[in-house]
Amino acid sequence: MLSKSQISLLTSLQHKKFRQQSGLFLVEGYKSIIEFVNSPYRIQTIYHTPGIASKLLNLSRKINFQEISTAELQKISTLKNPADAIAAVYIPQWAGFSDADLKNKHSLVLDGVQDPGNMGTIIRTADWFGITNIICSEDTVDAYNPKVVQATMGSLARMNISYTDLKEFLRSADLPVYGALLNGESIYDVDFGKEALIVMGNEGNGIRPDIQQLIQHPVTIPRVGGAESLNVAIATAIFCAKLAAKSFQ
Amino acid sequence: MLSKSQISLLTSLQHKKFRQQSGLFLVEGYKSIIEFVNSPYRIQTIYHTPGIASKLLNLSRKINFQEISTAELQKISTLKNPADAIAAVYIPQWAGFSDADLKNKHSLVLDGVQDPGNMGTIIRTADWFGITNIICSEDTVDAYNPKVVQATMGSLARMNISYTDLKEFLRSADLPVYGALLNGESIYDVDFGKEALIVMGNEGNGIRPDIQQLIQHPVTIPRVGGAESLNVAIATAIFCAKLAAKSFQ
């Protein structure tokens, strides 16, 4: 049975302030939780309903777990229809990307992405295409927001994410900087090379002017029809597909 | 001022049953409404707040409009934060696609897409890439669902959408049929030609087995990393980007 203080801690993790205070975030559903168990993430506790107890006995490493009732799960879940388990997982503590982390690969840079669904979809899509580094502006939505975690469908467990001052980061990065902008080179013609940073912007406003100035290679997805813009997760996916095309040539 | 029966009709349009009975659907926000005004869609009435009255006097064609208060807009809106106007628009009545409608172009076929956000994003993305035909299975989410309309950001006004028995449609269609499946040809190598049907499947289950049998050219987006799957709107966008370019490599 969950104590009052456990319920209070777990429900507080829906808010960024309390995630930062406790260093914990929530992962819901056995299928997603397992991705974190099979990753370097440290699991604090898995709270699970009786139905999946036997599955947890066979985990590849020793994890704290606690059986709770469906009614208790409902209390601490962020979902309308909670699945079977919820885990409190430690937010990784690290100093951000070193030059070596970024060498010989493509990394995404997000300037002010706001929507949790978009952020989650970007992480899931990047994971599909083998991109594992995402550098975010400080005002980008928190990747440990429960809605983001949910939308990544476990892919967050394989992603390195850092929040930083993008202007400073891009200025000191020793890599070519590409960005999704209007009036750039067509994405069909771009060669991203073997290492690059790819900057994507905010849903409504795109990339901030002072960040735009640091983009050496503006890239455009050519428009054929009438839509005014593309959703940022959609645009990111098309960039990722193009980046991954290299691996198949 | 809105009458009780107006409020009752307008709020009923959030449900498919009442949209079908009345032949009307809702479009919210001046920016989206204008896309329908500048399209062959017939507008029944635009309900607008006082702030945008002057804009409506300059419309390119004669449209019924009615001024309402912000409180009234709140009552009939499907949004938490309603914008400035809501329009009741006639659902187009047509018999579906003829062979001529499908010739010399690429059309999307959706088999059981369920999520309104995905459906709206697919329509918006198709519009960006100049694809204007979408053929849906009868259980695909209704394109006139307010959440879908919202997510298309006006692109629905430029799209031809029909709901039909996909098995029958694909059997009688005189066009090559491509589909997003596992273990198909890599999308980087596919040549879709100048005319084709592209089938995308349901979020959880993909394309139904009996529809799969009608796909002549299975196509796969190769996976590099760890994600188990791609979101259907993301996968559709990557297909659209490839369709829009002769060489997406």
Are residues B79 and B112 both part of a single domain?
A: no
Distance from CA of A246 to the nearest CA of B (A): 8
Chain A CB contacts of B234 below 8 Å: 121, 125, 233-234, 237
In the structure encoding, which two tokens stand for residue B113, read together?
């897409």
- Lowest-pLDDT range, B60-64, B173-177, B205-209? B60-64
Residue B246: pLDDT band (50, 70, 90) is: low
Domain boundary among B90, B107, B122: B90
- Mean pLDDT for B234-245 is 95
Helices (H), B153-201: 166-172
Contacts of residue A71, Cβ cutoff 8 Å, sequence gap at least 6: none
Domain boundary among A40, A73, A90: A90
Please enumerate, as own/partner, the contacts of B63-70 that have beta carbons within 8 Å and a separation of 24 or more.
Answer: B63/B37, B66/B2, B68/B1, B68/B2, B69/B1
Chain B CB contacts of A237 below 8 Å: 230, 234, 237-238
Residue of A34, A38, A118, A188 for testing the chain B interface, max B β-carbons within 10 Å: A188
Residue A102: pLDDT band (50, 70, 90) is: very high
In the structure encoding, which two tokens stand for residue A185, read together?
């080179």
Are residues B83 and B116 both part of a single domain?
A: no
Query: How many Cβ atoms sit within 10 Å of the Cβ of residue B172?
Result: 8
ipTM over 0.90? The verdict is yes
Average pLDDT, chain A: 95
Are residues B72 and B104 both part of a single domain?
A: no
Contact between A137 and A110 (Cβ < 8 Å) = yes
Q: What proportion of chain B, given as a percentage, has pLDDT over 90?
A: 91
Residue B112 phi/psi, 5-degree rounding, is: 80, 30
The pLDDT score that the predictor gives to residue A113 is 98
Helices (H), chain A: 4-12, 16-22, 30-37, 53-56, 70-76, 99-102, 116-128, 146-152, 166-172, 209-212, 232-245
Contact between B212 and B111 (Cβ < 8 Å) = no
Residue B249: pLDDT band (50, 70, 90) is: very low
> Is B121 in Cβ contact with A117 (below 8 Å)?
no
Are residues A213 and A139 both part of a single domain?
A: yes
Domain boundary among B90, B125, B155: B90
Domain span at residue B106 reads 99-243
CA angle A97, B221, A156 (to 5 degrees): 35
C-alpha gyration radius of chain A = 20
Are residues B121 and B221 both part of a single domain?
A: yes
Are residues A81 and A43 both part of a single domain?
A: yes
Chain A CB contacts of B188 below 8 Å: 245, 248-249
Tens of pLDDT, residue by residue over B148-199, are 999 999 999 999 999 999 999 999 999 999 999 999 999 999 999 999 999 9
Distance from CA of B233 to the nearest CA of A (A): 8
Pairwise CA distance, residues B65 & A185, whole Å? 44
Are residues A196 and A75 both part of a single domain?
A: no
Contact between B5 and B52 (Cβ < 8 Å) = no
Look up tokens 């735009």; give the residue: A212
- Residue B249: inside a domain, yes or no? no
Are residues A122 and A210 both part of a single domain?
A: yes
In the structure encoding, which two tokens stand for residue B14, read together?
């959030």
Into how many domains does chain B fold? 2
Are residues A150 and A204 both part of a single domain?
A: yes
A204–B contact, CB cutoff 8 A? no
Question: Out of A121, A229, A249, whose CB is closest to B249?
Answer: A249
**Which residue in chain B is spatially nearest to A227 when comparing CA positions?**
B128
Residue A134: is its pLDDT beyond 80?
yes
Q: Which of B49, B36, B101, B93 is nearest to B75 (CA)?
A: B49
Are residues A172 and A208 both part of a single domain?
A: yes
In the structure encoding, which two tokens stand for residue A230, read together?
């593309």
Pairwise CA distance, residues A216 & A179, whole Å? 8
- CATH number of domain containing A125: 3.40.1280.10
